[in-house]
Copies of this chain bind each other. A is one copy, B any other.
Amino acid sequence: MSAERSIAIFSPGLLGGSLAKTVQQRMPGVEIRVWARRGEAVEEVKQVLPGIVAGTDLAEIIRGASLAVLCMPIQHMPGIARQLAACDLADDLIVTDVGSVKGGVVGELEAIFAPSKAAFLGSHPMAGSQRTGLAHARGDLFHQAACILTPTAATQPEHVARLRTFWLKLGCRIQEMTPEAHDRCVARISHLPHSMAVLTTLAALGKDASVLDSSAGGFRDTTRVASGDPDMWAGILMQNRTEVMAALQDASSVMRELLEMLQSMDEEALRRFLVQAKTLRDLLPAV
């Protein structure tokens, strides 16, 4: 298990930028190299993260790196991965990502790097914000966040060990799941809540947005993530559509139950329903 010597970050948005800041703070002595597609983004990196190597040339940024982290939207990962796999790579390079869906992506990226010197292993740090972009990057974004690693039958145990060490150093708690179990899990705990926040916003404000003048903390918190990046979330929900649809169908069933209780004025059943939800929600420790 070698310590990382040089970390290459591809696409400096909220996650890539926060990753760079956190590595700077928590892994002194480790080189950080950042790739961005556009020259203006490179200039922004140089301003926000002084002292970091940044450029638009993939081959130059990946050269010598022991760890590469793909932080672009999932749909763009395979294209970048193919270009990287054709570059001059270090013998010990691990490539990982921070994508929110793993099912199809991990197999595709694994296959792309199989003929190269590098190994691919998926990561998903459960951290983010409705605010996107490098300007909102934070050095504490990963603090206490769950980070799910998704090894496959082809993954070497020492690569899992190295990647665990990396995310642990950034402050994460580590979990391991297959890509399929990951997608089932995040559909419930992340993609469903996001979808429900969107539906709540549309049903609350769609007919008359002036009710916002009366809003309080309940509306604010329940709908916060509906302000997230529509492009990114359209990609996530579509890529994980089977599991997201299953979760939404379950939400639709409990919604029918609730409507029936209200229709039949069964206050006792409603109270039990609310107790059941409270009991489950109270499992989450208070911050």
Asked whether A259 lies within 8 Å of B283 as measured between CB atoms, the reply is no
Give the one of A195, A222, A263, A265 with max B CB within 10 A: A222
Indicate which residue in B198, B216, B287 contacts A146 across the interface (CB closer than 8 Å).
Answer: B216
Enumerate chain B residues within 8 angstroms of A189, measured Cβ to Cβ.
204, 211-212, 214-216, 219
Residue of B nearest to A266 (CB): B238
Which stretch, A16-24, A109-117, A152-160, A268-276, touches the partner chain B? A268-276
Asked whether A222 lies within 8 Å of B220 as measured between CB atoms, the reply is no
A139 interface hit (Cβ, 8 Å)? no
A203 interface hit (Cβ, 8 Å)? yes
Report how many copies the assembly holds: 2
Given known pairs A255-B251, A271-B230, the reply for A265 and B287 (CB within 8 Å) is no
How many residues of A sit at the interface, in one of the four size bands?
Answer: 35 or more
CB distance from A220 to the nearest CB of B (A): 7
How long is the Cα–Cα vector from A278 to B225 in the complex, in angstroms? Answer: 9
A38 interface hit (Cβ, 8 Å)? no
Asked whether B238 lies within 8 Å of A203 as measured between CB atoms, the reply is no
CB distance from A42 to the nearest CB of B (A): 27
Asked whether A282 lies within 8 Å of B227 as measured between CB atoms, the reply is yes
Enumerate chain B residues within 8 angstroms of A207, measured Cβ to Cβ.
188, 250
- In the complex, besides A146-B213, A175-B214, A198-B258, 14 extra interface pairs with C-beta distance below 8 angstroms are A175-B213, A189-B204, A189-B212, A197-B218, A198-B274, A202-B277, A203-B253, A203-B254, A205-B283, A222-B225, A230-B274, A238-B267, A245-B262, A248-B259
Please name 28 pairs of A and B residues whose Cβ atoms are closer than 8 Å in the assembled complex, sorted by A: A128-B216, A128-B218, A175-B214, A189-B214, A190-B214, A190-B215, A192-B204, A193-B204, A198-B273, A199-B254, A199-B255, A201-B277, A201-B280, A202-B251, A215-B284, A221-B225, A222-B225, A226-B278, A230-B275, A234-B267, A234-B270, A234-B271, A234-B274, A237-B262, A241-B262, A248-B259, A248-B262, A252-B259
